[in-house]
Amino acid sequence: MKSSRWVKITLLLASCLTVMSGALIAPALPIIADHFSEVENADFLTRLVLTAPALSIALFAPIAGGLIDRFGKIRLFVLGMMIYALAGGAGFLLDNIYHLLASRALLGISVGFIMTTATTLIGDYFEGNERNAFLGTQAAFMALGGTVFVALAGVLADISWRYPFLLYLFSLPVIGLVLTFLREPNADKGDLADLPENNRRSFKRAPIIWAYAATFFGMALFYVIPVQSPFLLKQIGIEKESLLGLGVIVATVFAAVASRLHPLLKKRMTFPAIYGLTFGLMAAGYGLVALVANIWIVMLGTAIAGFGVGLLMPNGNLWLIEVTDRAKRGKVIGGITTAVFLGQFFSPILLQPIIDNASIFTAHAAASGLALLVGGVYVFLTVSETRPATEHKAV
- Going by C-alpha positions, the residue among 112, 14, 125, 8 that lies closest to residue 68 is 112
d(CA 299, CA 303): 6
Which sign, positive or negative, has the C-alpha torsion 287, 290, 295, 298?
Answer: positive
Per the domain annotation, does 172 fall within a domain?
A: yes
**229/10: higher pLDDT:** 10
- pLDDT at res. 271: 93
Per the domain annotation, does 102 fall within a domain?
A: yes
- pLDDT at res. 303: 93
pLDDT value at 65 more than 50: yes
Per the domain annotation, does 190 fall within a domain?
A: no
User: What is the pLDDT confidence band of residue 386, given thresholds at 50, 70 and 90?
Assistant: low
- pLDDT at res. 323: 82
d(CA 67, CA 257): 34
Residues of the chain with pLDDT > 70: what percent? 90
Domain extent at residue 221: 4-183+195-394
d(CA 313, CA 275): 10
For the stretch 192-217, pLDDT in tens is: 444 444 444 344 578 889 999 999 99
For the stretch 235-278, pLDDT in tens is: 877 766 556 667 778 888 898 899 889 989 988 899 999 999 99
Per the domain annotation, does 384 fall within a domain?
A: yes
pLDDT value at 393 more than 80: no
- pLDDT at res. 281: 96
User: What is the pLDDT confidence band of residue 92, given thresholds at 50, 70 and 90?
Assistant: very high
- Going by C-alpha positions, the residue among 206, 204, 226 that lies closest to residue 214 is 206
Q: What CATH code is carried by the domain that includes residue 75?
A: 1.20.1250.20
| DSSP H helices in 192-311 | 197-202, 206-222, 224-235, 241-244, 246-266, 271-291, 295-309
Per the domain annotation, does 337 fall within a domain?
A: yes
Residues of the chain with pLDDT > 90: what percent? 33
Per the domain annotation, does 189 fall within a domain?
A: no
- pLDDT at res. 43: 79
**Among 11-20, 31-40, 141-150, which is the least confidently predicted range?**
141-150
Per the structure, how many domains does the chain have? 1
User: What is the pLDDT confidence band of residue 119, given thresholds at 50, 70 and 90?
Assistant: confident
- Going by C-alpha positions, the residue among 311, 306, 308, 309 that lies closest to residue 251 is 306
DSSP 311: T
Per the domain annotation, does 188 fall within a domain?
A: no
* DSSP states of 12-34: HHHHHHHHHHHHTTGGGHHHHHH
Which sign, positive or negative, has the C-alpha torsion 309, 313, 319, 322?
Answer: negative
- pLDDT at res. 190: 44
